[in-house]
Structure 1
Amino acid sequence: MTRAPEAHDADFRAFATGRWPRLLRTAYLLTGHHHDAEDLVQVALVKAYARWHRVAQASDPDAYVWRILINAHRDRIRGLRVFEWLTVRFPERSERDRTEQVLDREVLARALQRLPPRQRAAVVLRYIEDRTETEVAALLAVRIGTVRSRAARGLEKLRADPAVRELRAPAGEQEVTDRAGAAQRSGVR
């Protein structure tokens, strides 16, 4: 029994509308540009629509579409021969009372910009999108160990970033944090 095209379109429209904000956020964190993120999400949704009968029947339609998004991003990166420059503005608008959060997000976005694309993808999917290592490995088509190492290296670079370190500890506590980190690395407790 085949479904009417109207039902097919309605199902897809409901799916796309419900997932758009999260897809856009992920795409923004991967690309660093609002317009590129919108383009990437649109490409992913067009591909999902073309295969909607398979996507809808999948055990996890969200993972199917996220995989399409990641593959589209990977294809996009392969074609790029220029450096990417992340913007300092996130897609959502802030209110004046949330200025501090917005500034923190800008610092994090700049720090993410400095990560290599593969490490950035692992960190964004694993920690910002809160996906499991298994899900990230499936989305990036790599082994779980690769996800772990890329995420660990990415986090290490983020932690070493001076701007991120300022976020983690107020100015007076920075020296204490530095000494504690050095002691932990050397095995002293």
Structure 2
Amino acid sequence: MASEEEGFQVFVQQHWRSLNRTAFLLTGDRGRAEDLVQSAFEKVHRRWHHVSQMDAPLEYVRRVMVTTAISWRRRRGSGEIPSLSVDVGLHDPYERIDQREQLIGALRQLPNKMRAALVLRYFEDLSEADVAAAMGCSVGTVKSHISRGLQRLREKIGDEPGRLSLPDDPALRRA
């Protein structure tokens, strides 16, 4: 029992940072992101004996996190969605930071499943099949969420020359 507990602690230490980043992208709030990761770890801890035997426990934790984030959002409603309007100059040293903030603001406005698909695909760099497994849906559904999500982001942000390049912008991976 003690070795299982130690194994869980090691797992948490190894994956806390990356899961926290994913949770921030899913929730748009650092405090809620930490709550989401803690909630996912709490749920997984109860079943750690079984989860630790899985081929991919990290993917299982991601799935728990995504489903928890979606259920939280359903319960709390959409609420007020902040928008960010920024005039960025051509030589602005903070342009990339402003673009990242604008992208995160646009992500917050997407429906839960669409946002989850984009975050897992482009921020976590998972394959479409892995995203489908994490979300508990088909690859076709993931492709649909991604396609529609990218279109909505382009509409909200604008895909003009000199603006964000979706989805291959390196700033996406550092959010």
1:52 Cα deviation after fit: 0.8
Partner of residue 31 from structure 2, selected from 30, 35, 48: 35
1:156 Cα deviation after fit: 1.1
Cα distance, 1:40–1:87 mapped onto 2, change above 3 Å: farther
Give CA deviations for 1:11-61 in whole Å, capped at 9, x if unaligned. 111110111111111111111111111101000001111111111100111
Partner of residue 12 from structure 2, selected from 13, 16, 20: 16
CA contact (8 A) 2:70 2:112 kept: no
Q: State the one-letter code of the partner of 1:51.
A: R
- Which stretches in structure 2 are left out of the alignment for 5+ residues? 85-92, 164-175
* Structure 1 length-normalised TM: 0.74
Is the counterpart of residue 108 in structure 1 residue 103 in structure 2?
yes
- Which stretches in structure 1 are left out of the alignment for 5+ residues? 89-97, 172-189
What is the distance in 1 between the residues matched to 2:83 and 2:54?
A: 35
- Written as runs of structure 1 = structure 2, the 5 A alignment for 1:32-181 is 32-83=28-79, 85=81, 99-161=94-156, 163-166=157-160, 169-170=161-162
Give CA deviations for 1:127-159 in whole Å, capped at 9, x if unaligned. 111111111111111111111011000011112
**Which structure has the greater CA radius of gyration?**
1
1:84 Cα deviation after fit: 5.4
* Structure 2 length-normalised TM: 0.80
Larger helix percent: 1
1:87 Cα deviation after fit: 8.9
Q: Which residue is equivalent to 2:22? A: 26
Q: State the one-letter code of the partner of 1:158.
A: L
Cα distance, 1:38–1:87 mapped onto 2, change above 3 Å: farther
What is the distance in 1 between the residues matched to 2:18 and 2:26?
A: 12
